[in-house]
Structure 1
C-alpha cells in the first residue's frame, strides 16, 4: 500500500469514482472520461478505457458509477440521458457494455448496489422515481414513487438489508422498505434546501445528509428521526463519506467555491478536523480505501489524487485563540490565549513515557480565557423603544418634535438635539412664527413672512414709525410747556429765550398784559406734518402760535446760522462730521411716488414719505446640506443607523439635495432592516419597506409570497387554490388538526410535519402543548 500522496491527470473531469471490493482498483466516470486504474505504491496504472467504440452516445456520459460488492467485473453507471448502463469487464470484445436499462424518463443521478444481494441495483432519477433492477432478469422489478421533483441520492442501509434511504431536492428524506414499494414507512424534512448526498454510518444507525443550505446533518434513525449533530460549512456540500473505523469522522467536498476536501469531527461543527488542499477546482468524488489513513478523490481540474492522512492540514492548529466580538447589546467579548506551563512532575512523566509521533484522533485543543465588558446595557431597550415610537411620516415639524421628545425622555440628549436642529433647518417659517407668537393673527404673520421674503409691505416698519411719531409729538408738547413756563416766569439772560406773539394776543390768565418778545424757533417747535418733519424752502419763517401749536405752518431753517447750529447741538445731538448732501435736489422728489418697475421695492408707511428703493436684491437662502451630510456620517460612524435611516425617511423629497449615492442609502436601509429582524420588530421593518424610495427595497415585501402545497393524502402538488385535491378528490389537506373541519380562512401549518389548522385553534393548542395536535409526535414550534 502506498504511503504518500500521488496524482494523475486526465483528459476530462470526472463526476464520480468507485473502488472494487479489495480496494486495489478504482474507476472514474464523467461526461468525457471513463477509465479503470490500478493503484501501485508510487503511481496509478491505467488498466482499461471503457470509453471506446464507434457509437459514443450519451450512454457514456456518466453522473455516477458503482462497483459490485461481490463481483469485480460488474460495473453500473447512471447516464445523463436517463439510462442505467451495466458493464461487464470480462467481455472478450473491446466494448464492455453489457445492458442498458431505459426505464427512467429523465437524468439518473445515482446508482447503488446492494451489500448482500449482488444482483440488486437501485437508481434514483430526476423524474422522482427509484427503480430496483434485477441483473438476472435484466429488468426493473420494483418502482418507488417519491412524489418529489427529483431524487438526488439513494443508499442501502448496512444494518437493515431491506431498507434504503432516498433524499430529494425539496429537502426531504424518505425511508423505504424493499418489500413494500407502495409507500415509504418514514418521511421527514431534513434541510431547508435541496439535499445532494447522503451516507449511512457503517457501524451505527446514523444517516448523514448534505444540503445546499451549507450544513451536514447526522440523523439517528433507530427510532423517531432526531438530528444529533449539525456541521456548518462555508459552501453547499455535494459529496459526503464516513471515515472507516472512526465513529465521529466524516469527509465532505463542496459543490461550489471551496476546493478543499475536509474531514470533520461531528463533535466540533465549526472547524474541520483535517483538510486536503491539493485540488485546484471543486472536488466531485471521495472514496476511502477501507482504512482511515488514505482515500482517493476526483475533481473538475481533471486530476485523480491518492491522499495520505499524514499530509493533512490541521485548520484547528492555525486558529487564532485570541478574538474580540461586539454584540448588538453593546457588550464586548474578548478571548485571550492561556499560557500553560506544565509542572515538573508532568514533565518528568512525559519524559519517561513514550508518546506516539502522530495522533490523528486528537483534535487540536486551544485554551483561552474569555472576558466580557458591558458598554451600555440600555442600548437594546433604547433601540426597540425608538423603533416603535419614532414617527416617520406626516408634518416635518411635528415629526422632529415628537422624535426629539422620545430621545430626550430616554436620556439621548444628543439625538434629541439632532432632531431639533433638523427641524430648524427644514421647518416651515409660518409654523415657526405661529409657535413664537401664537396670539398673533395668521394674516399678519403671513404678511410678515412674505415681506421678509421680498414683499412690498412691512407692518413691522409701520409700527416702528408710528411709535416714533407718537413719541416725537409727546416731546414737542412737553418742550412747549417748559418754554411757556420759562417765558412767563422770567429767567437768566443767558438761558432766557425771546418769543414773539401776534398783536393783541395775551398769554396766560393774568390780568396784566405782558408783551411777548419774538424768539427764534426751537427744534421742539417744529410741528409734525403729513409730509415729513422738515420742509425746505427759501422763505423766512413765520411766527408760531402758542395757542395753536398743531397749526400747519411752513418754517424755514437756515443752516448757515451759527446760533441755530449751536441750539441744534444743545437740544438734539452733536454733529460728528460734516453732512454732505449727495442726494438729488428736492425738485426731483415729487409728492406722489413714481411708477414702480419690476426690480423696485416700495415700503409704504402711513403718514410718512414714500420711500422707493430700486433694484433691491432678495436675501439668499442658507444651504444646510453640508451640515446634514456631516450629521448623517457622524451617526453612521457611531453605528447608529436607526437615526440615519429615520432622518432620510423624514426628509422626504428633500433628501435628493443631499446627493447621497443610492447604493450607500440601500446599504444603510438593508442593515437597519437586518437589525430590526434580529429584534423581531417585523411591523417596523414592514413600515420601513413601505416608506422606502429605492425600488429594490420597496419590492422586498413582494418576495417569497408564493407557497407550493401538496395534498396530505396523495402527497401530490396542488394544482390550484381549492379545498379539494385534483388527484385524489379529498379535502384532508385543508382539515384543522384540532377541530377536524375544513379551514376556509387563514390556514397555519408546521413546516416540519405539514400539519396545521385554524390559526385561533393552533394558538390555543400551543399555549399548553408542544407536540403536534395531529398526533404525529413532531415537536412543532409556534411563534
Structure 2
C-alpha cells in the first residue's frame, strides 16, 4: 500500500510497536498510522503560520523505548526533540543549536532514554542529555563532514561514525578526546552504516563507490568479511530482521529501486522493490521481529509499504549457465557441478540400495521464498584445435586451387579442412561443390579468372529464358567492367557464373563473359554483369592479384546485348555515356545473396532450382543476413 505526501521525504522512522510511521522532509513533517490496507494521517507537526527552518528536516528518528519521543536533524544545524504527549498543537520540546552546519544524522541510544547523538557537516559529533539544555560531550573527527552515526547494540559505550573522506571511526562516549579505532572503509564518502541486530560485531557500511561492505569488529583490526557491488551510490543500509545475511539498500541517485541482498551472493540481489519513480531516501523494516514488511519514502512524494512476497526475484530471470569464447578460440563453459560431472548421467544406475541399519531423518524444508539454493558451480575450458595457427600453414601447403575439375578441387579442399578440424570451412567447400558442380557444363575459360582451369562448371539452374525471370532479379541490373585478371580474387564463394545453350549461339559469342558481383548501392537484387577481355590461352594457373582493389577502365560495348534491355539508358542510375555501351547477355548471373533473398520472398518459380538446392538456399536465407562470406566492393 502507499500514500501521497505533500512534499518529497528525506527520512522515515517507525515507532516501537510499528503502528505509526513518521515522515520528514524539507517541507513535510507528518505522522501516519498503518491501517490494514492504507495509511491514515494522524498528526501534522508543521504548525504555525510561518514554520521556521527548524521544521526543515534532514533526518528523523523515533525512540524505541519512549513512543512519544522523536528527534529531528534540521538543515540549519539545529537538533530538535518532539514530545507527542504534549496537549498543545506544537509538540516541539527542546532545541540544541550547537552545530554550525547541517546535521546529517541523529540517533538515540538503544537502552538510554535521554541520550541522543548527532553528526553534522561541520565535522563534529555531539552527545546530548535530554534533561539538560546543552550537549554533554563533543567529538571531533578531525576530518570532513560526518555522514552517519550509530550506537552499537553490543557495546553500551560505543558508537560508529562515517565520514566524507571514506573513514569509519569507533568512539567511546566516555572518552571524547580521541577515537578508539579508525580504518578506511571506502574509496570516497561513506554515506551510511548499520550494526547487525544479531551478530553484534558486524558493521555494514555503504559509500559513493557503489559498494556495501560488512566488517567484523570483534577483532583488534576491522576485517572485511563481505562486499556487495551495487550499480549506484549507496544512501541507506538496513539489516533485515531475523535474517542474518540479508541487508536492504537504496541509492542516492540514478537508481530508484530498493534492493535486499544476501551478502553471501553479492552479484545478484535477493529481492527487488521497484515501485518508486524517484530516488528512495529512506528505508526501515516495519518491526524489529518482522522481516516481511518494509517501509520506504522517496523524493517522488510517496510513502510505501512493501510486502516481501510481492518482491521481484532477479535470480529467477538470470541465466544459470555461461558460455564464452576466448581470444584464441578457447571455449569456457560454466554451470552447476551436477551438469559438469561426468558421472551425473549414471548417478541413478550407480545408486546403492537403502541400508535399513541406519535411521531415517526428516529435515524441515526451508521456505523457498526466503532462501536461495546454494549450489556449487564448475568451470570447464576447452582448448581450440589449431590455436597455434598451424592450420594456416597446413592449409596453404595442401590446398589445391587448379589443375583438376572443380568438383575434385572442392572435395579435396573440404577433406583437408576436415582433417585440420576446420569444420565450418569444410562445409563451405562442400556447399560450393554442390552449387557450382551440378549437372551442366560451361566453357573453362569462363572461370579462368577466379577458378583456374576447370572442365566442369555450373549451371546449377534449370534452363530458362530472361523473359521468365521474376521482376527485380536482374531487369534493373547495373553494369560494370573490370580489367583482365584484376578480379581474380573474387573467389568461388563470392560469385557465380551461369551458362545457357542460347548464349553459345549468340552472335559474337567468341568472347566469353565473366559474371561477377559489383557494388550494391541499391536493392540487393541489382547485379553487375561485366565483360572481360579474353584471358591469355597460356594462363592456366590461378595467380594472386597485384592489387586488392583493382582499377577500373572504360566499359566496352557488347554486340550481343538484348534489345529490350537497351532502354536502360533511361535509368536514373546510369549516365548517357554508359547507356550507349551497356549490354546484357541472354543468361543472367546471380549471387547467393540475391538468389536466397528471392527464394525467401517466393519470387522465383518453383522449378527454378532442383529441390535440394532450393531447400539449402532457403535454409541459409532463414538464418538471418546470410551467414556465408560476402564479397567486398571494389569501392
TM-score normalised to the size of structure 1? 0.45
5 Å matches for 1:408-557? none
5 Å matches for 1:83-482? 83-204=78-199, 205-223=201-219, 224-288=221-285, 289-290=287-288, 291-326=290-325, 331-335=330-334, 358-364=367-373, 370-375=379-384
Q: Give the secondary-structure state (helix, strand or coil) at the position aligned to 2:261.
A: strand
Q: Which has the higher helix share?
A: 1
Tell me what 2:44 maps to.
Answer: 49
Distance 1:329 1:34 in 2: 62
Distance 1:149 1:283 in 2: 25
Q: Is the 8 A contact 1:7 1:304 kept in 2?
A: yes
The root-mean-square deviation of aligned C-alpha atoms, in Å, is: 2.9
In the superposition, relative to structure 1, how do residues 119 and 355 fare at CA in structure 2: closer, same or farther (>3 Å)? closer
Q: Give the secondary-structure state (helix, strand or coil) at the position aligned to 2:165.
A: coil
Q: Give the secondary-structure state (helix, strand or coil) at the position aligned to 1:293.
A: strand
Distance 1:120 1:253 in 2: 28
Distance 1:128 1:378 in 2: 61
Q: Is the 8 A contact 1:127 1:151 kept in 2?
A: yes
Deviation at 1:97, TM superposition (A): 1.4
TM-score normalised to the size of structure 2? 0.55
Deviation at 1:357, TM superposition (A): 9.2
In the superposition, relative to structure 1, how do residues 258 and 330 fare at CA in structure 2: closer, same or farther (>3 Å)? farther
Q: What are the Cα deviations for residues 716-746 of structure 1, in whole angstroms up to 9, with x where unaligned? A: xxxxxxxxxxxxxxxxxxxxxxxxxxxxxxx
Deviation at 1:120, TM superposition (A): 0.7
Distance 1:252 1:354 in 2: 33
Q: Is the 8 A contact 1:321 1:367 kept in 2?
A: no
Q: Is 1:25 the equivalent of 2:20?
A: yes
Distance 2:548 2:171 in 1: 69
Q: What are the Cα deviations for residues 615-662 of structure 1, in whole angstroms up to 9, with x where unaligned? A: xxxxxxxxx9999xxxxxxxxxxxxxxxxxxxxxxxxxxxxxxxxxxx
Distance 1:93 1:149 in 2: 40
- Flag structure 1 segments of 5+ consecutive residues without an equivalent: 1-5, 380-623, 628-783
Distance 1:269 1:238 in 2: 18
Distance 2:83 2:111 in 1: 19
Q: Is 1:67 the equivalent of 2:66?
A: no
Higher radius of gyration, 1 or 2:
1
Distance 1:327 1:255 in 2: 37
Q: Is the 8 A contact 1:336 1:370 kept in 2?
A: yes
Distance 2:325 2:87 in 1: 70
Deviation at 1:200, TM superposition (A): 0.3
In the superposition, relative to structure 1, how do residues 355 and 157 fare at CA in structure 2: closer, same or farther (>3 Å)? closer
Deviation at 1:332, TM superposition (A): 3.5
Distance 1:295 1:275 in 2: 11
In the superposition, relative to structure 1, how do residues 185 and 329 fare at CA in structure 2: closer, same or farther (>3 Å)? farther
Tell me what 1:708 maps to.
Answer: none
In the superposition, relative to structure 1, how do residues 91 and 625 fare at CA in structure 2: closer, same or farther (>3 Å)? farther
Tell me what 1:15 maps to.
Answer: 10
Distance 2:192 2:146 in 1: 10
Tell me what 1:611 maps to.
Answer: none
Q: Is the 8 A contact 1:321 1:368 kept in 2?
A: no
Distance 2:548 2:370 in 1: 64
Deviation at 1:360, TM superposition (A): 3.3
Q: What are the Cα deviations for residues 31-73 of structure 1, in whole angstroms up to 9, with x where unaligned? A: 1111101111111111101112123121111110011122111
Q: What are the Cα deviations for residues 550-578 of structure 1, in whole angstroms up to 9, with x where unaligned? A: xxxxxxxxxxxxxxxxxxxxxxxxxxxxx
Deviation at 1:105, TM superposition (A): 0.7
